[in-house]
A and B are shown apart, each in its own frame.
Chain A
């Protein structure tokens, strides 16, 4: 008996697997190389909220020799760390960064959104907004002078200066609209940008013509202001657009590039995955992922099958068992006979499911697009009719042209263009403050429509961390003993047991792990064993009974005699019961789709009062359930976290994942919630529904404005002054209405705990687990 506890490194590893921290592999793959051995990693740290947080996190990170720079962004609650690949010849381990942040008490998650940092289009749009704003302010200055009574030569000069300012501004700031309109026209289609571009061009050249002829009215200010408002709407809209994202790459990453094939003469050969044929014998070492589906020939081991069933508890594997591509071999080495080629294996099937699901999602049409589909032709028609009408009735075609331009300007969809994005940006900001990230604006539109919610079990309704439930019954003495043994094992239950004991634990020499069974230690008192009942007590009878139980157990024995039985249960996510009850109260159907065994799922469903539960589902089954629901006309929200949930997340109407989810799950989901509690689901639903109401109100306001303004324009009373007033006031009303969401959402969610930063994990998690 030497030291009192296993090494520090081991315990940190335990912490990592308990908290769902990203692995070194994941961190390395997501890091952005900056050249010269420097890498940048962006982590989401949902707990930061004040100045002291910045100093704490940055200070701690800068203490690490491998960290070159660290900067916390408080607005987006991220920290970006630039780290060196190697320090003094030693390869550095990126998980140190995550551990260092965890040691300050803040939780961190890997959060990579493709192309978000270098969002060049956003910056281009912002620059265009600035230029348009500058031009419109200066032209307005001159226009106000004209409206106040500047006459003759002065007026002409002001008009000419306006024209001079407007021309470059229109070209620079308007290019987004012109290009998009041109693209649509070339394909024989029309979109919102076509009337905008025609309106801008026509009004500019008509104004120029009028200026040439010393006329009283010019529309330069209206033209540029129009672009200014539209660009604001476009910029906000761009920020809420779905960035091209796909979870498929993350899934493909799970597939090993090859496997070691054992030839008939016993020689070993590493072959690429495409060349592995059914019937080949593969050697799988502990820590390897299974490359293709197969049957175990020799060896016993524990297998992390979370790819298939989403469970954190490993499955024991013995000869004759079937394994599937993507599973991770944890403890023993195995010889596996391939039963399928890589393209027919489980992972390939998952990728196929994801492709189908992601293709299907692209079909959703955003509310703004649906509105503009009717709006654009209506506007064209109105302007054209007023041109023809005034031309034939009045006979003055030049005057008719001016009227048509006034109609185009007045009807230009400033308020309409702002109606949706402003609300969505405000709503997304509101959700972000409460720890929910929104991937794109249309997700909120879809969430507002749902009528049923399906939850995954492990990691979603529960935290995915086993918790000892019979501490008093087992006794502290046995617990200290067991924890000493458990510290030597990587099995999640052992780790949970080890974490339960806070004081010193018993120390053992010569501890060995028996793959697929447990750990044993030979001491002077006898042979201690910790593991399954079969392994610890040598009893063969209870295999079936323990499988039917809702909880999992670990037995401690001395020379085959049972000393204690430890029962574990996964702890419920905080607020799960209230959330499910609340959803049902609002008439939303709830269900569970789990890959776990039926008794466990049934027990949980009973506790939460969910009648519609399904157990032992494969990823394909889950996706199929959601497609079925869609065909029955239901709009479903899927909340899940595992790799096995990814196809379901993609095929649901809208989806949500916790930040602790597997990378693939986070990528596939529309919403990611960063806090522990499940109350993110009703909050997101609530805010999305309120946002939906405000969007409809905004449409009503924008249309109401048109009903008043268009007749004025058609009758020929719309002077540039009236146009300027009408356009800006309607836009401002829409924006102010959108800002009301802040107030509504605050009234709806008074719970102070939702606004508090999440508890520091170090100590808190230890107590909880």
Chain B
């Protein structure tokens, strides 16, 4: 649904841009392609890594890891899994809901969801391209620590 809004925005933007200045519009499209081609090699590599990781680390395995262990280790495990894997939201949330049903606690789920979104181990090469090593490391470590704290709070609140 939201993707259509983005397409409408991009399409509308292109149209307005084209009416105003054809040369600039052509340049915009060139830059769009250049930015995309710039990340394409890493991007394709990441897709394969995710495919391999998720075929080995099946939802059943994840459920086992997070569902049977509880407490601090469960939270840490959930946070590590969330950091390493990269699952699109529309897969991750139903998975998280299933995990809850299968006995995982809110704390583990919060750690999993939060690191899944904020920490990206497989996408580090892409992030380093824009932010350099140091800033990338700082952001990911800070996001990891924050996710653990957030999980703690959610575990207490819910």
Tell whether A pairs with B.
no
Q: Chain B residues in contact with chain A, CB under 8 A? A: none
